[in-house]
Amino acid sequence: MNSSFHRLASVTASTKRPPPMSGGKRSAPVAHLSDIACSPLDPADSETARDLAFRLRRETNAPIDILQTFVDASLDIREGDVLVVEGTGPLPSTEYAIRRANRWTWRNSAYLHLLLEEEQN
């Protein structure tokens, strides 16, 4: 991991992954990775993020915000996983559905660019 990214990756998270289907049903996601360093979550403002938000709004009929973060590319993270961001102080952890996980290269280092779904109530 690039030392510049290491300083930027100030958020600690973990992931959950849905287990394989059994009997035609999928169980709740289970713990997968822990102690992941990621960049702070920010609103995503790319064409891909806008298209994703539009599609999810049509499917769920609910307002959707798409956030983004970056993690080390060597991690086993994929679409369908859940990113669990640790809360600070008394705040609880927050879960985000990982909707896209794309490899991204910057300064000769590889990262995963994660697009996350945050539902608005």
d(CA 67, CA 108): 24
Closest to 1 measured CA to CA, from 72, 69, 68, 106: 72
Q: What band does 48 get if pLDDT is binned at 50, 70 and 90?
A: confident
Distances (CA, A) of 45 to 7, 52, 115: 23, 11, 10
Domains, the chain: 3-19+28-119 (2.40.10)
- pLDDT tens by residue, 55-92: 787 787 777 788 999 999 999 999 999 999 988 778 88
Percent of the residues in the chain that have a pLDDT greater than 70, as a whole number: 95
* pTM, 2 dp: 0.82
